[in-house]
Structure 1
Amino acid sequence: MLVRYFAAARAAAGVDEEVHALPEGTNLHALLEVALAVERPLPPEGTPPLARIVARSSFLRNEVAVRDHSMELGSEDVIDVLPPFAGG
């Protein structure tokens, strides 16, 4: 499963994207647990830790909003992590 990070999530993760080889049927909650367990360098000063950002983020599965974190995912799915955006 490909996880893509955007904005503050990208800064906190230290990467634009990463692949997690998880079994078919893994749900979003489990995928996020695995992603958060990755050892990462400290985020830039002023950037919250990835766990705090993920807790407030929205998610897309193959470019469609996901609200049910227990939904089963496919091994080829792309998950986008979208932190809250400010501005307007």
Structure 2
Amino acid sequence: MLVRYFAAARAAAGFEEEKFDLPAGSTMADLLQAVLAVPRAEPPAGTPPLPRILSRSSFLLNEVAVRDHATVLGPDDVIDVLPPFAGG
């Protein structure tokens, strides 16, 4: 699966996107654990750490919002990580 990071999530992850190969039947929760298991450099000053960003983020699975972390993912799925943002 492909995970794409946006805004603060991209800064904290250190990448715009990364691929994960998880076993068949893996869930969104499994993917989030895999994301958090990757060793990462400290985020830039003023950027929260990735675990905190993920805990507050919304996720899109193939461009559709997913809230249930028990959702089973497929190997070709694309998951977008959208941290909270403000603006107007």
Q: Same fold (TM over 0.5)?
A: yes
Cα drift, residue 62 of structure 1: 0.3
Aligned to 1:40: 40
Matched, 1:25 2:25: yes
Q: Distance in 2 between matches of 1:27 and 1:35?
A: 13
Q: Distance in 1 between matches of 2:78 and 2:24?
A: 13
Cα drift, residue 20 of structure 1: 0.5
Q: TM-score, normalised by structure 2?
A: 0.98
Give the partner amino acid of 1:86: A
Cα drift, residue 24 of structure 1: 2.2
Please report the RMSD computed on the Cα atoms of aligned residues, expressed in angstroms.
Answer: 0.5
Q: Look up the SS of the partner of 2:59 in the other structure.
A: strand
Give the partner amino acid of 2:65: A
Aligned to 2:14: 14
Cα drift, residue 5 of structure 1: 0.3
Q: Which runs of 4+ in 1 moved over 3 A?
A: none
Aligned to 1:83: 83
Matched, 1:67 2:67: yes
Q: Distance in 1 between matches of 2:24 and 2:13?
A: 24
